[in-house]
Amino acid sequence: MHSTRRKRVIIAGMGFGGINAAQELAGSGLDVVLLDRNNYHLFQPLLYQVATAGLEQESIAYPIRALIRNWYNLSYQMGEITGLDPASSRVLTDDGELVYDYLILAGGSVTNFFGNQGIARHAFDLKKLTDAERLRNSILTNFEQASREVDLQKRKALLSFVVVGGGPTGVEFAGALSELIRFVFRNDYPTLRLEDSRVLLLEAASSLLGAMPKRLGSYAEKRLQQMGVEVRCNCLVADATETEVHLANGEIIAARTLFWSAGVKACPLAAMLLGEKGPGGRVPVKSDLTLNQYDNVYVVGDMACFQQDNRILPMMAPVAIQQGRHAARSIISREQGGTAEPFHYLDKGSMATIGRSSAVATAFGLSLYGFLAWLTWLFLHLYYLIGFRNRIVVLLNWSWYYWFHERQVRLITAVSQTTKEPGDQ
């Protein structure tokens, strides 16, 4: 008797698209191989809270092997993809090659510095777990240095934080950082005049949260200003050095911290595919999310350039989740003799938290702001966070901060060479 080889599906990337595709394919009878350079799924929307000392790194990440332990027919391989050969249905990795019957590319996105090398060299961004820890270390170290700096101008530069990009990430980070300074550092650093500290949010467009109704952007701007954030719209950043941020109008802001959230682009995995690319290096796909040349290769999430209602779908987690599920269901349907249905994105809305008890949200044509939007934001983020322990830990951290205005994760876990004391190795 000859055994029939099970069809193999490779999912490249364990972000929101990849993990939801894997869940749909569990128990399908297909041989599913999960590929990622990290051994965990990262809940990226809460990275800014790690950077602002609100959450531990471990509370927003979940081990892939633990996640798939009870998902049948799934295996995980840790590795870096070094090449793609869709003509022969092969994925090349740093540990050899894998042959597939179906491939789901869900590599996500990276920060887009738009070719500006000065900004890329000196700005912080938030795409990886290590990015959040590095940014938190820098913020805390700046305050430690400022507490013993005698020169007023140098001290003000250490306490100045420039946030570029008025989308959800920029708004959330600016609000969280402002609260950290006003409520926590005020007590931690009694010798500092925190009036010398500045948080500036710079947005190139005419308003914040451009994807949301204008009144929600106006509410976010007003709320941030009440929290002490300096908001500037129609403001372009031209360059940056280690100690300065240069604006397009010629103004120079002395600041030791520049956080960049002004754009993303498809990850390098997209460039491994031949053919023309869409905006941000994204890969154009057909109506069922497959490649034009290869109908056994699906591209989902931030990598995919998919048009609906004459606009390209945004690079957001809800899009990736729905596309990952659709790709998996399409593969199962084809294996059962059915046809692949076209993908249609159901826009359930978007949201952003501004600070304690304050957020904005849109859902099915309704606009919410203030405390109700904040509760909605809390519930949905807890719901989509993977792992019961993680949900409990995050909820306890949020509750503790809500009642006591205290953030427990104020740990400097790495010291840069420039701040080491003489004699340190």
Contact status, residue 14 vs residue 129, Cβ threshold 8 Å: no
Residues known to be catalytic = 172
Cβ count within 10 A of residue 416: 10
HEC states along 224-244?
HHHCCEEEECCCCEEEECCCE
Reported residue count of the chain is: 425
183: helix, strand or coil: helix
> Which residues have C-beta within 8 Å of that of residue 69, sequence separation ≥ 6?
none
Single out the residue of 137, 182, 219, 170 nearest to residue 414, CA to CA.
137
264: helix, strand or coil: strand
Q: Position 344: which residue type?
A: H
Alpha-carbon span 396 to 224, nearest angstrom: 25
| Burial (CB count within 10 angstroms: exposed 0-12, middle 13-18, buried 19+), residue 92 | middle
* Strands (E) located in 67-178: 74-78, 81-85, 90-93, 96-99, 102-105, 109-111, 160-164
Strand pairing report for 307-308 and 311-312: antiparallel
Contact status, residue 235 vs residue 204, Cβ threshold 8 Å: yes
Alpha-carbon span 79 to 96, nearest angstrom: 10
**Diameter over CA atoms, the chain:** 83
